[in-house]
Structure 1
Amino acid sequence: MNVPEVIPIRHDPDHYTRTIGRCDGGQFFAWVVAAFPEGWSGDDWQPQKRWYAVLHRFDEAGRHLDSRIRSTGTTADGEERAVAAARLLLEEWLDALPGRHYRDIAVAPFEVRFEGALFGLVPEVEEDEEDGVWMEFHPGGLGFCAPWDGCYDT
């Protein structure tokens, strides 16, 4: 199965991709998401589940330019407070994007590590599946696959 060089992602104003689009000089993918550090395991998960405001920026061709990522707390600190703080921060960042318009985007795979967690659009392979190649947005688990029409699965 051929994976495109840039992955189309549809803007969905009522779901996970409500804060993606274009701005002067490129494209962006922004959201509030929780992540665990890679390799973490154990029963005491609340202090490990961190909430983040995330803003990835891309050039017009979909190449990753930079990522702004900031933790606003853990579930143990109070999930509602952490999520609310991340939403406020993200709103600030989005308001500062010149020429911002929410709409479909198309971006190339990329990876960023922050506070021990993986952020990015990463290829995934399932060896036992017929069409076992897809792209997944980390953290958060938005999966994109053939027919590469911008729709995602969670």
Structure 2
Amino acid sequence: MSVPEVIPIGHEPDYRTSTIGRWQGGQFFASVTSTLPEGPLGDDWQSQKRWCAVLHRFDGAGRHLDSRIQFTGTTADGERKVIAAALQLLDAWLDALPERAYEDIAIAPFAVRFEGALFGLVLEGREEGGEEDSVWAEFYPDGLGFSPPWDGQYDT
């Protein structure tokens, strides 16, 4: 099964895709997520685990328009505190989207970098014998994997 031009992502209330949907200008994927630098972390990993509020916006056809990403602190700063700050920021960004509705979306692969971390929906794997059966789409840094039958369901 070939990779679709836009990858369906199912809306799941009260779970990992609870803050995705459509708005007057197209579609959106919002989350509070964390990043870690690549490579060994050492004993001070808490100071390297960075929490962010993230809002990706797409046009109606699923093409990436822009990404708003803001760092709110590290786990060492107090995980509950920095997650609460990110959620508050995310709520404000979402409230500013006119005609916002939480529902399924379908978006094209894209990638952006923020402070060295990868954010986006990136195709991974490789084609085998002309088949795309070992290709999947990974949503970074949230860790959501999408694959055939491309029905909006994901693995973590």
Q: TM over 0.5, yes or no? A: yes
The match for 2:27 is 27
Question: Is contact 2:2–2:133 with CA below 8 Å preserved after alignment?
Answer: no
Please state how far the C-alpha of 1:131 moved relative to its aligned partner: 3.1
Stretches of 4+ aligned residues off by more than 6 angstroms = none
Please state how far the C-alpha of 1:25 moved relative to its aligned partner: 1.5
> 1:65-108: per-residue Cα shift (whole Å, max 9, x none)?
00000010000111110100000000000000000000000000
Secondary structure, counterpart of 1:131 in structure 2:
strand
Distance 2:95 2:41 in 1: 39
The match for 1:66 is 66
Aligned partner of 1:41: which letter? Answer: P
The count of corresponding residues between Structure 1 and Structure 2 is 152
Question: Is contact 2:27–2:105 with CA below 8 Å preserved after alignment?
Answer: yes
C-alpha distance 127-45 of structure 1, shift in aligned 2 (>3 A)? farther
Please state how far the C-alpha of 1:127 moved relative to its aligned partner: 7.5
Aligned partner of 2:26: which letter? Answer: G
- TM-score normalized by structure 2? 0.93
Structure 1 counterpart of 2:146, from 114, 139, 144: 144
Please state how far the C-alpha of 1:140 moved relative to its aligned partner: 1.6
The match for 2:111 is 111
State the identity %. Answer: 69
Distance 1:77 1:48 in 2: 10
Secondary structure, counterpart of 1:146 in structure 2:
coil
Please state how far the C-alpha of 1:40 moved relative to its aligned partner: 3.8
The match for 2:16 is 16
Q: For structure 2, which runs of at least 5 residues remain unmatched after alignment?
A: none
CA RMSD of aligned residues (A): 1.5
